[in-house]
Amino acid sequence: MAIHPIEYRYGTEEMRNVWEEENKLQKMLDVEAALAEAESEFGLVPKEASSQIREKANTKYVTLERVKEIERQTNHDIASIVKALAEACEGDAGEYVHFGATSNDIIDTSQSLLFRESIEILREKLVKVTKTLLNLAEEHKNTVCIGRTHGQHALPLTYGMKFALWADEFHRQIERMDECKNRLCVGMLTGAVGTIAALGKEGLDVHKRVSEILDLKPVLISNQIVQRDNHAEFIMDLANIASTLDKIAVEIRSLQRTEIKEVGEKFDPKKQVGSSTMPHKRNPITAERINGVSRVIRSYVTPALENNPLWHERDLTNSSCERIILPESCILTDYILNLTNKLLNNLVFYPENIERNLNCTHGLIMAERFMAELTRRGMGRQTAYALARDCSMEAYEKNTGLLDTVLTNDEIKQYLSEAEIREIMDPHTYIGSSVKIVDNVLEASKEWF
């Protein structure tokens, strides 16, 4: 019976398949096979034994059931794999399984293979979301809307700016993931404390060759484990990605609020139900799920950092923790990347509400423009600011539009004609370089992928 929501509710099959038990076992068998192959090349293991180990290092022969059966007796996961592989081999080949290795040589190197598969999936999703955002930026680079700071109406901008901003951030997330991969996905065959003593003078050569066979970069130095700053960086990168997804979902949720309703999630009125008691509800459930799951991903940063300072050359306190945080972080990040792409591809825009909100302050959002224009016409900037502020506060107090207040101000009329004042009041013409900025992002993005 399923217990964890990852098993039945959250996650994609492709990422679950990376971290499911049989694939993890196969990756450890791949490392054992690479070890035997490398050792045979340096005369430490007979070629025939290496070939037999390579053939039998497969879950067809070393079954998960058999490994678990042995583990119930040994209470040691890697020793159980070693025994199961050894007994699957013919002749005396099994005697050479795991020669010169310690458990974490197998665990850490195989985890690098799992990380590599996970990052390939995550990177593909990151690129997909980025391209979706770029398409939205192109489509809406002229869709003028109100910008908000501190939750208050500030100045006009465009929806294209919002989407381009997020696309640029996703590009940085892709770069971080690529950089992290180079440090994280490393091979290690260095023995119990990092000296490779059991393999004698061939130790470093075997260490390098195992990584080469597995298409990994050999770790430069280790103790019993690959140092966990690498793993912490990976979890922090996932948390950072989750934070970006959280940001996007929060914005869409806010814009979908009844009193704003500029943008919202697609809702199927024929099938979808918003509430078990309120028939009218259309809730931002996808965005809310992204927000909720992102909190779980970010929470794994602390244990990931605490896994780095271990006793001496290594203790076991990181192991149980990593069995939870590594697969869950990958599965959940992949899941909310999928949700975000779905959300963005199905956004519903409400142009009439975008326009209504742009004008709901009756022109107060154009006060900065008045200040700037008065300064250009010769009024001192500080004086212009004070005058524009006085007019704004008067409009607030009297609950009139800024236009009416400005048109009756004799000092402003010395610098601006009525026609010029009315032109200044148009928010659609006060978006600065926003279109060009979006075009710059779109142009730069041609080099991103």
Catalytic residue numbers read 150, 275
Q: How many helices (H) and strands (E) does the chain have?
A: 20, 6
Rounded to an integer, what distance in angstroms lies between the CA atom of residue 98 and that of residue 110? Answer: 14
Locus of tokens 């700016």? 161
Rounded to an integer, what distance in angstroms lies between the CA atom of residue 113 and that of residue 213? Answer: 12
What is the SS3 assignment for 263? strand
**Under 8 Å between Cβ of 44 and 99:** yes
**Under 8 Å between Cβ of 56 and 89:** yes
| Structure tokens given for 233 | 């960086």
| Structure tokens given for 358 | 């742009």
Locus of tokens 């070939």? 51
| Structure tokens given for 392 | 């704004």
Single out the residue of 249, 354, 253, 239 nearest to residue 304, CA to CA.
239
Exposure on the CB side of residue 303, measured as CA atoms within 13 A: 17
Rounded to an integer, what distance in angstroms lies between the CA atom of residue 27 and that of residue 106? Answer: 9
Chain centre to alpha carbon of residue 169: 10
**What is the number of other CB atoms lying within 10 angstroms of the CB of residue 227?**
17
Sign of torsion, CA 138 143 144 149? negative
Rounded to an integer, what distance in angstroms lies between the CA atom of residue 81 and that of residue 86? Answer: 8
Exposure on the CB side of residue 25, measured as CA atoms within 13 A: 23
| Structure tokens given for 59 | 């879950």
Chain centre to alpha carbon of residue 362: 40
Rounded to an integer, what distance in angstroms lies between the CA atom of residue 264 and that of residue 270? Answer: 17
